[in-house]
Chain A
Amino acid sequence: MATARSASLSTKRRSDSALVVCLAGNPNVGKSTLFNRLTGAAVETANYPGMTVGLNIAAARWGGREVQLVDLPGTYALDPVSEDQWVARHGLLDWQPDVVIAVVDATNLARNLYLVLQLVDLGPRVVIALNLIDEARRQSLRIDPRALSQALGLPVVPTVARRGEGLDELTAAAAAVAAGSNGLGHGRAVRYSARIEAQVAGLEEQFADGPAALPEGLPPRAAALALLEGDEELVAAFGEAGQTAAAAGRTSLAVPIAAARHAAAAAIAEACTEGRASAPAADRWWAATTSPITGVPILLAVLASVFAFLFFVGGRLSELLTSLWMATASPLLGSAVHGLFGYGAVAGTLLWGLDGGILAALAVGIPYILTFYFALALLEDSGYMNAAAFLADRVMHLFGLHGRAVIPLMAAAGCNVPAIMGTRVLSTRRERTIACALVVLVPCSARTAVILGSVSLFVGWQWALLVFGVVGLVGLVAGLALNRILPGEPEGLVMEMFPFRRPSLRLVVRKTWKRFGTFLWAAAPIMLLGSFALGALYETGLIWHLSRPLEPVVVGWLGLPAVAGLTLLLSVLRKELALQMLVVFAVARYGVAAHDLRTFMTPHQIVVYALVATIFIPCIATIAMLVRELGWRRSAAISAGTVGAALLVGGAVAHLLPLI
């Protein structure tokens, strides 16, 4: 991770008039909650090239002053040794904030102060939001904000971000520090051992004499410490003149410096805390959810409930939305379109897109995605996700993934699109690529409908199970293979296990809605466009010309009727259409009796058809999301891989089945 990446400041859009405020803090300390509280709805995300972790940026007004709030990723430190820390560090250096609000968890002060001390070393002005003080009180921990403020030399404002307590005081303190030129907010830096301090002083002297300007606007002490900690990027940034300085700062002091910071943090926390923490009641929950004997059944129960929730609530919602649409918008649209455009190809195309397209979104996409997002936010907020990740870690390891990957993989059974967005819980690009490839191979609700509606209905449920089994096998092989092929090592799991907290419905709904909005903007236009394209092809009759070039593969290798190949091709636009189109085309070609697939396909052909339809590229919306998350090159590779796997497996099964 520490390879020198060009520090192109693609995310930096600092406007001169606005106050720039960065939010820093450990994961799960309520930083995002605070961010949401302090800003309105319009949040943009800025990404560094090649980085999957982004910065959230939003505007706000504090007493008439325009403020740009930059939410750094939640990190434990600011060393460029992991992707999130790299982004946090660069966000901080690139944005040059007027003030940094460091959000600290009052229930785990010692560990949280490490980041604060590192911030002080790095140089920006800092204000502390002492968050979760209600939680601390519940654990009979009393923290003296004034003593903490004195020990750190920084303003400290107690807050309860969830309930919005202390936020006015916080913004006032931050604005005062940002405005003041009296050195307020610079904090008391850690005094390191004589050996380290001597080397820091030596380097500072060199910087004063040296021809090289300090990169990234770092104060000399900050640059000296970063060099001593072995910051390879900084060493590179110093250029030739810096190499000597870097060599003089022996790059072996990272651990002693970290140890000194931890010791200082622990001492400050100790001095400012009264009362010994009683073990939180949640501890007992932990034991149950992570010990193998009770944890695995709990995990299975939770997974089953999420599935049940998804299928029952999502299914109900789907029925409701469908019948609402059919009863109201659909007839209206129909008469409006026919009234305006008559009954020709134009009207037909418009109806495919507007009526059919929106209906498909209402019936398949939206209900399942909305319910899934809700379940996901609920699980995340409760803190259970970590237990699931802990237990699933071993299995995910086979694929070069963490336990955390289990969540998006589960989501994929609803719809692949949000699942691909969900792979953001993974930290490296390698992991995300593997996870996305596996997500794409999980049959989503639309593909499950194709399997059930063809194989299960016309051939038998055992055969449907066989199809699911083969698809699962393909996923297993793909995961194992990708873990071997992709360069890089699987990352070892290092994950903080957060305590359980009672989820706040308000936050869960807000999170659900925010994610859902993102999904809708990304996927809905593509779904609609796909429907229009399909409609135009069908209504103009162009569609029949597409089937000829496919024949060698479809008829020759897969042994399927030519019309089937056409529907496979078109199902890229919307997967559940594979089956609907098959019936439509078959009726057009073979007559009305063809609504029963068995009139023109053998059971084996139906199985092969369902297999191929399930394995190859999910749909165009999924591809668009893949491109957004992984870039077009990896997306093309994944898509091509699924096509290859579908043809290979489909062909193999087509040739093997008659032998059995």
Chain B
Amino acid sequence: MSLQSESREEYLEAIFKLNQQSEGATVGRVAEDLGLAAPSVSQMVARLAREGLVERDPASRILLTPGGRRKALRLVRRHRLSERFLTDYLDLPWDQVHDEACKFEHVLSDEVEERLAAHLGNPQTCPHGRAIPSADGELPDEAARPLAELSAGQKSTISFVSDEQPDLLRYLSSLGLLPQTAVSVEDVAPFGGPLLVRVGRARYALGREVAGKIFVRV
């Protein structure tokens, strides 16, 4: 696989990932994510647009076209399968596999990907608990959005908790803030203050940054 197509895949993956977050993908944020200069990102995005993989909306956010999305999801699938392989077979700790998987994902052919998935027992989630897209490009958790975006009175179900801070993830798990758990927002303090949520019979105040790491489906 040529270097160029590898970098093209990286772009699509980054755009996909950023679009899952609330602010969306812009040239600046893609550049930040990939550690590149904004002008070269701008150039590449223009090329991807010519190839029909991305388009820009009026707010100049970068959106994936259906074709671009398919490619991005395929890469996300390979990334997360690779992570699974690295933890389950090569015994790497889960907080180290992300970077390794970034290299791994590009060398998988369709056939290797398929066999890898079968060998791993078609896992549903990566070691961090995020859903692995299916081979036909379905991602069940795409509708998930940060709990912090909900307003008072909304009910939701936790989809996953971001793994950026493993200690926080574990702390929240011990409180019962786990995937597939119902959580309702009772109050939101103004000016970016905390959220008051109810889980089971307990109420918790969650700071914005914490609530931003919990992804829910309404």
Contacts and interface: CB of A to CB of B under 8 A. Distances in A.
A550 interface: no
A393 B202 contact: no
A386 B201 contact: no
Contact of A393 (B129, B152, B166, B194): B194
B176 A255 contact: no
Contact of B200 (A111, A292, A497): A111
A258 B205 CA distance: 21
The 7 closest A-B pairs by CB, nearest first: A77-B174, A493-B207, A258-B173, A492-B210, A394-B193, A252-B94, A252-B127
Given A108-B201, A397-B207, A496-B202, A259 B171 contact: no
A390 B189 contact: yes
A259 B175 contact: no
B192 A394 contact: yes
Interface in B124-168: 127-129, 152, 161, 166-168
Contacts of B175: 76-77, 111, 494, 496
Interface string A404-424: 000000000000000000000
Contact of A389 (B87, B166, B176, B205): B205
Interface string A225-252: 0000110000000000000000110111
A111 B179 CA distance: 16
A468 interface: no
A92 to B, nearest CB: 15
A390 B196 contact: yes
Interface of A: 1-2, 76-77, 79, 81-82, 85, 107-108, 110-111, 114, 229-230, 247-248, 250-252, 254-255, 258-259, 262, 266, 277, 286-287, 290-292, 386, 389-391, 393-394, 397, 402-403, 492-497
5 contacts: A1-B167, A2-B167, A77-B174, A247-B93, A494-B172
B89 to A, nearest CB: 10
B174 A79 contact: yes
Interface in B190-213: 190-194, 196, 200-207, 209-210
B178 interface: yes
Contact of A258 (B128, B178, B186, B190): B178
A558 to B, nearest CB: 39
Contacts of A386: 205
Contacts of B189: 290, 292, 390-391, 393-394
Contacts of A250: 87-88, 91, 93-94, 127
B191 A290 contact: no
B103 to A, nearest CB: 20
Contact of B87 (A1, A85, A252): A252
A81 B207 contact: no
Interface in B72-131: 87-88, 91, 93-95, 127-129
A492 B207 contact: yes
A242 B152 CA distance: 48
B41 interface: no
B129 A255 contact: yes
Contact of A107 (B87, B161, B181, B201): B201
A178 B212 CA distance: 46
Contact of B91 (A85, A108, A247): A247
A79 B170 CA distance: 8
Given A250-B91, A262-B176, A82 B204 contact: no
A111 B199 CA distance: 10
A492 B167 CA distance: 12
A518 to B, nearest CB: 29
Given A252-B127, A394-B191, A497 B203 contact: yes
Given A258-B170, A287-B186, 4 more contacts: A79-B174, A111-B202, A290-B187, A494-B168
Contacts of A1: 167
Given A291-B187, A397-B207, A497 B170 contact: no
Contacts of B190: 292, 394
Contacts of B12: none
Nearest to A248: B91
Given A111-B201, A290-B196, A258 B87 contact: no
Nearest to A26: B202
Nearest to B197: A497
B15 interface: no
A386 B204 CA distance: 10
B54 interface: no
Contact of A391 (B94, B173, B193): B193
Nearest to B190: A292
Q: Which of B127, B173, B175 has the most CB of A within 10 A?
A: B173
Contacts of A114: 174, 176
A79 B152 CA distance: 31
B207 A494 contact: yes
A259 B87 contact: no
A378 B29 CA distance: 50
Contacts of A230: 93-94, 166, 170
Nearest to B160: A255
Contacts of A496: 175, 202-205
Q: Which of B179, B189, B210 has the most CB of A within 10 A?
A: B189
Given A108-B202, A110-B200, A386-B205, A81 B171 contact: yes
Contacts of A77: 171, 174-175
Interface in B28-48: none
A118 B175 CA distance: 13
Nearest to B177: A494
B207 A393 contact: yes
Nearest to B129: A255
Contacts of A389: 205
Contacts of B53: none
A393 B205 contact: yes
Q: Which of A255, A391, A496 has the most CB of B within 10 A?
A: A255
B169 interface: yes
A312 to B, nearest CB: 31
Contact of A76 (B129, B174, B179, B196): B174
B203 A393 contact: no
Nearest to A257: B173
Contacts of B168: 81, 492, 494
A266 to B, nearest CB: 8
B153 to A, nearest CB: 11
Q: Which of A110, A494, A495 has the most CB of B within 10 A?
A: A494
Contacts of B187: 287, 290-291
A494 B206 contact: yes
A497 B173 contact: no
Nearest to A259: B178
Nearest to B210: A492
B194 A403 contact: yes
Contacts of A82: 167, 171
Contacts of A497: 196, 203-205
A510 B149 CA distance: 44
Given A252-B87, A393-B194, A495 B173 contact: no
A493 B169 contact: no
Given A292-B189, A494-B204, A254 B169 contact: yes
Contacts of A493: 194, 205-207, 210
Contacts of A76: 174-175
